[in-house]
A and B are shown apart, each in its own frame.
Chain A
Amino acid sequence: MSSTTSPLTAEQLSATTLLRFATAGSVDDGKSTLVGRLLHDSKSVLSDQLEAVERASLDRGQEAPDLALLTDGLRAEREQGITIDVAYRYFATARRRFILADTPGHVQYTRNMVTGASTAELAVVLVDARNGVVEQTRRHAAVAALLRVPHVVLAVNKMDLVDYAEPVFAAIAKEFTSYAASLGVPEITAIPISALAGDNVVEPSANMDWYGGPTVLEHLETVPVSHDLTDCPARFPVQYVIRPQTAEHHDYRGYAGQIASGLLRVGDPVTVLPSGRATTISGIDALGRSVDTAWAPQSVTLLLADDLDVSRGDLIAPSGSLPALTQDIRATVCHLHERPLRIGERVLLKHATRTVKAIVKALPYRIDLSHGLAHENEPAALEVNDIGAVQLRTAEPLPIDAYADARLTGAFVLIDPADGTTLTAGMAGEAFAEPAAAGDAADEEGWDF
């Protein structure tokens, strides 16, 4: 547990994995304190940064260093004392490296949390133990469920202000777990903490001996980085065709890309979409060395047995499990821009490595996250931060997966063709996953006394 306080050896450092996670929390629930403590206790706030914060805090007439100044990097943020934008933070322990998408809890939270959660393998949702599950908590759970973040941590904060009482925690954990499970969040871990006092953040709490589960950091260090390869068919969006045209590599023609999901082997029968031509993988170059097998998220170069016409934007997939090709996409979207999205609008759709023209055919509904996921049918437009369903017609067929099955090849963004603005984040298919089959199992996994 105190592994984080001593310098890491070179050997320890080279064996670590990377976990990307996002934090969600509203303004006063102690998110900055939690982030500050994780950074501080993992030695990721260095003395010159702390000194700068102390200096700036004194200049503002504050007595104690304001840890929010560590994270509010922009002049406008410091002036207004608010966080405008997602920031990325980095810290490490002996077991793992972390990339934290620090998403602000302010007005634009939906858009920001969607951005942070899109690359996250885990989301930490903070709740104030005195207030319990509030509207904002439901919103955070809903966004984590929508984005299909594989692991959700409920951090019940400020336990020191409720006398570290087990029943308070148990009630909040039970309510949250059943709500999140009903949205299809696959794994929920509830942890009672006090970010301010340090209980169960890095060190186990002496004040809550009734809790037998991991601290926040321990959980972050040990949660599996999810690559469920057996269930995921391989997807390989072609980024770039490598043709050296040199004497030494005269006939080399490789298809460069990052494996979006699954696993590829030399000899696998594959099909190139949208052309539908079939061939087999004759070789895999993993950044300069030849390998037999490669898997997500490795960047590799594929060599194919037949000389096909393959270019950027194509998708290579195992012939036995191809995504459907379609020009009609129904998707759940989060609208990101102040310019509303309306029926009839012509946009560009970027999916994997392919950008095509698309038109908004229908807006079937808008979800009101603040009122128990109520649907407003056929809204006039989607406004900024709105989450809703969209029906799109694309100019060319796309090999698109359901987001529920494949996060990367089920995702897309809509772009304004006039000025290139990113308008909307899209997830193909239904909004929320089916709740986990066994309710009891979800309950048991929820927390660990």
Chain B
Amino acid sequence: MSATVRHAEQRDNPYALTHLDALESEAVHIFREVAGEFERPVVLFSGGKDSIVMLHLALKAFAPAPVPFSLLHVDTGHNFPEVLDLRDRTAARHGLRLHVAKVQDYIDDGRLRERPDGVRNPLQTVPLTDAIQAHRFDAVFGGGRRDEEKARAKERVFSLRDEFSQWDPRRQRPELWQLYNGRHAAGEHVRVFPLSNWTELDVWQYIAREEIELPEIYFAHEREVFNRNGMWLTAGEWGGPKSGEPVETRRVRYRTVGDMSCTGAVDSAATTLDSVITEIAASRLTERGATRADDKMSEAAMEDRKREGYF
């Protein structure tokens, strides 16, 4: 796109913003509200597409000054190396401090126990809440979107969490106009979701428009995978494949990246941003339905994890 302001529906209304401009403007507003009202905000940053978009928005919100927040990543120990590489390069390029809380450390010293299925995503909650308390973060940005899951559809942009980081859906504050209420007691914090109103497709269109660099695993590539519960998982040190789970080479890409033990790849030929967008627009599966095992554990899996402090 050119450097001029984009016009949509030019004929009817020269001042209508495109939906991406409207979403961008709203997200930037949210970042600036937090910068204006909180003492110690932090951005959850994994190197995945949603957190990369969040950081991009934060960079625009405060330019030409640096982003006034540090970054936090909860490393499950089962992350994709390409993603961690981009995480580190991005933080370094923008001169941002990156805190890393490691699930492995908690397993090594006995504070957490490995689950029999090897899935580490649910284990992230403890290191996350510990890090929030230890650093006394009072606002924690997450890339959660309301289109991801029906419990998330009920989430506020500013979501108050108690000292145990718990989410109580019945105690949520009503949120009107753009008047976000960030008041909290000592020990409490607020989770902030600037991408609340974005969909998966919006994120991809924005990545294409802004030419944002992503880890290669989001694009189709040949990979050795095996099938478990209908998902294509990558072989790795985390406990797969087991016997009876033959490995095959397939042309795949990832729609989400998280813990390798529960993030599945999808068959895909999409090697460019345009072809990814076309593929998602035609897909009959949601992002999480296609690729996340942890959401399938029960009907209320996401709500239950959110209540405990998960994003």
**Residues of A that sit less than 8 Å from B by CB:** 7-10, 13-18, 46-49, 52, 56, 70-76, 78, 84-90, 92, 96-97, 99, 111-112, 114-115, 118-119, 224-225, 227, 229, 239-240, 242-246, 248-249, 252, 256-258, 263, 285-289, 291, 294-295, 297-299, 312, 336, 348, 350-351, 353, 407-408, 411-413, 415, 419-422, 425
Contact = CB atoms under 8 A, between A and B. Distances in A.
23 contacts: A7-B282, A14-B20, A16-B19, A46-B289, A73-B151, A87-B154, A90-B197, A90-B199, A99-B197, A114-B176, A119-B176, A240-B36, A244-B66, A246-B65, A249-B65, A256-B61, A257-B32, A287-B63, A294-B5, A299-B61, A336-B174, A353-B33, A425-B174
Contacts of B197: 88, 90, 99
Contacts of A72: 150
Shortest Cβ-Cβ A-B pairs, 7 listed? A48-B289, A420-B183, A73-B150, A18-B19, A244-B65, A299-B28, A7-B282
Given A18-B18, A413-B176, 5 more contacts: A7-B282, A71-B150, A78-B300, A90-B146, A229-B15
B154 A73 contact: yes
Interface residues of B, number: 77
Contacts of A49: 286, 289
B134 interface: no
Given A10-B278, A249-B65, A47 B16 contact: no
B26 interface: yes
Contact of A240 (B9, B32, B151, B205): B32
Interface stretch (B118-126, B165-173, B216-224, B241-249): B165-173
Nearest to B28: A299
Given A115-B175, A242-B62, A420 B185 contact: yes
B13 A225 contact: yes
B174 A225 contact: no
A295 B6 CA distance: 12
From A249, A285, A298, A425, residue with most partner B Cβ within 10 Å:
A298
B133 interface: no
B205 A413 contact: no
A287 B60 contact: yes
B299 A299 contact: no
Contacts of B277: 10, 13
Interface string B16-43: 1111111111101100110110000000
Interface of B: 3, 5, 8-9, 12-13, 15-26, 28-29, 32-33, 35-36, 60-66, 146-147, 149-154, 160, 169-170, 172-179, 181, 183-185, 196-197, 199, 201-202, 205, 208-209, 274, 277-278, 281-286, 289-290, 299-300, 303-304
Contact of B183 (A47, A78, A415): A415
A420 B184 contact: yes
Nearest to A417: B183
A423 to B, nearest CB: 10
A14 B209 contact: yes
Nearest to B183: A420
A378 B151 CA distance: 41
Nearest to B63: A288
Contact of A85 (B28, B62, B169, B283): B169
Contact of A413 (B26, B179, B185, B208): B179
A74 to B, nearest CB: 5
A317 to B, nearest CB: 18
A46 B16 contact: no
Nearest to A226: B13
Contacts of A295: 15
Contact of B153 (A89, A225, A299, A422): A89
Contacts of A119: 176-178
B176 A425 contact: yes
Contacts of A244: 64-66
Contacts of B12: 224
